[in-house]
Structure 1
Amino acid sequence: MSLPTDEISPASLVVEHTVSRGKGSAFKRWHADLTDSAKHHEGYIRTDLCSPVQGSQLKWYSLIHFDSPEHLHSWLKSEDREKLLESGQQFFRTYRFKSFSTGLEGWFSQKTGSEQLGLGSPAWKQNLAVILGLYPTVVIQTLLFTQFSIAQNWSLANSMLLSNFISSSTLTWVVMPLVSRLLSFWLQSKYEPIPKQTNALGIFLIACALTFMNSIFNHVQ
């Protein structure tokens, strides 16, 4: 049985630079050089640069678009970009970025405030990991709501709003960080190949966990 494959889709990078006062013009010239560097790499689409809002902190935001995560990843690791980042330190105090391909990457991030070059696990792995976290969260929440008669007399729209708010908050701050740590050996970047045995082990463990929880929940119900 072959493992799922991902369709090629565009990838975008959102970058925040905190620029020192009085160095905005120099920063724009530096950013133009950075954009020119990206243009020479395969798959580049465009760059959008947003100036700081008047009166706010000097935070500049740029969006860099490539036609695939692979091409974006290639530019992120390129030597010319590394050199430009070093030279740009004189114009900005701090910077951080986030890349997007599936939209779920935030649930699998192990780092904050730093650069991450692995643009996330394959979409099918992220999907399985989310199911592993979502299934028990929703079932346990439903059982608790029923046991303690929470929102039982509410309208469907109101009860679903409360339920979704609680479940999404629980997933974001409690469940998915735990799932991400437990499956860290398996949730590797799609650009860092891992042995087939490791891939199979991750799928097997998730299947066993879901089967075990399903059995327990059926008995509880």
Structure 2
Amino acid sequence: MQETIKTGVVVLSRDPGDFDDLSYKQWHNELVTLAKQHDGLIDVDLQKPLEGVQDQWVQVLTYDTIDNLKALLDDADYRSAVESSEERFGTPVIQQVVANSKPSALPVTVVISQLVKPGCEEAYQEWQLDMDLAAKKFPGFLGTEMIKPLPGVQNEWVVIFRFDSARHLDDWFASDIHKDLLKQAEPFFEKVHVRRVGRGFEDWFANAAGEGESGPSQVRMAMVVLLALYPTVMLLTLFVSPLMASWGLPLSMFVSNVLSVVILTWAVMPLATRALSFWLDQETGSGTFVTILGGTLIVGLYLISISLFIWLTG
């Protein structure tokens, strides 16, 4: 049985107005920066309006306890940011606070790439709307987003589904209505690719700005993981492994791996992602200068780490 927890959730909703997507996403990131200053923030989400499914912008901030959420709601800077946003965007914001008792589970996302046959685009969009409306009725549905093809860049239609847990997502996929809708759409597609987004390395990069976006590139994530992993493993090997020499390799290796994961997840990676957020964020890190600066810094830290451990083991 899953452990039952009571989380604190604040939901902000706003009607579309005379503002663009980028400006609203920037404001969302400003709000998340304020939220991160309080303990217990475990999840954020930004959902765009989707015709026929969701009429408003929706922001969700989830804290591990009601008390930690209350600390945010009592923050004068947070209240000012919410109140001033009405003048900034020209439409009122509605705030709802929920004490949410539910099985602890992490949201999951499925990214579906669909190559639609020429001439079937209009019928496909009508079918996708039916799919969205059906999914909305299922427990745990958080939102969906459609990304249209970009000529010369992306040929597929991309649809993103979000559910609050793997179990609810699986229930939707296994449902008869989902299977029936898929069968109806078979004439539209030349190719379909489904990718289930887990909560692996991406969770380690929650401190990089730009929540609700796809996050840092895999290359940058891998470089930062290596930067954090190498000194962690070296320090454990030099100072902890000798204490477990008599335990045998299988047991000592298991304990060492447990310590590595704990140290990376709750200590090293949060520090590393905060320090390198200027490079990891898709918007601030996309420029040539910042890209080169961040890459050079990472490589320099690699060399410093190697030199330090050569000196320690010499």
Report the TM-score, using the length of structure 1 for normalisation.
0.56
Change (3 A) 1:134 1:31: same
2:200: which partner in 1? Answer: 103
Higher relative contact order (CA 8 A, sep 6+): 1
Is residue 195 of structure 1 aligned with residue 287 of structure 2? yes
1:151 and 2:249 equivalent? no
**Helix, strand or coil for the counterpart of 2:245?**
coil
Distance 2:202 2:289 in 1: 24
Q: 1:166 aligns with which of 246, 250, 259?
A: 259
Pair 1:43–1:124, CA change in 2 (3 A)? same
1:219 correspondence with 2:314: no
**Is the 2:227–2:298 Cα contact (8 Å) retained in structure 1?**
yes
Residue identity in the other structure for 2:232: T
Q: Deviations over 1:9-49 (max 9, x none)?
A: xxxxxx99969xxxxxxxx9781498997579632387879
Deviation per residue, 1:157-210 (Å, 9 max, x gap): 111100000011000000000000110000013x77621110111111111111
Q: Which of the numbers 158, 180, 186 marks the counterpart of 2:273?
A: 180
Aligned to 2:136: 31
Matched with 2:70 is none
Counterpart code for 2:211: Q
Instruction: State the alpha-carbon separation in 2 of the partners of residues 160 and 140 from structure 1.
Output: 14
TM-score (norm 2): 0.40
Unaligned ranges ≥5, structure 2: 1-59, 63-97, 102-132, 149-156, 174-195
2:215 match: secondary structure: coil
Task: Give the whole-Å Cα distance in 2 for the aligned partners of 1:201 and 1:152.
Answer: 42
What is the letter of the counterpart of residue 119 of structure 1? S
For 1:128, the equivalent position in structure 2 comes to 223
Q: Which runs of 5+ in 1 are unaligned?
A: 1-14, 20-27, 52-59, 66-98
Match of 1:205 among 281, 287, 297: 297
**Pairing 1:137–2:242 present:** no
Task: Give the superposed CA RMSD.
Answer: 4.2
Give the whole-Å Cα distance in 2 for the aligned partners of 1:161 and 1:218: 25
Alpha-carbon distance in 1 for matches of 2:165, 2:222: 33
Equivalent residues, number: 153
The percent identity for this pair of structures is 28
Is 1:118 equivalent to 2:210 in the alignment?
A: no
Distance 2:227 2:236 in 1: 15
SS at match of 1:121: coil
Q: Say which structure is richer in strand.
A: 2
**Alpha-carbon distance in structure 1 between the residues aligned to 2:236 and 2:143:** 51
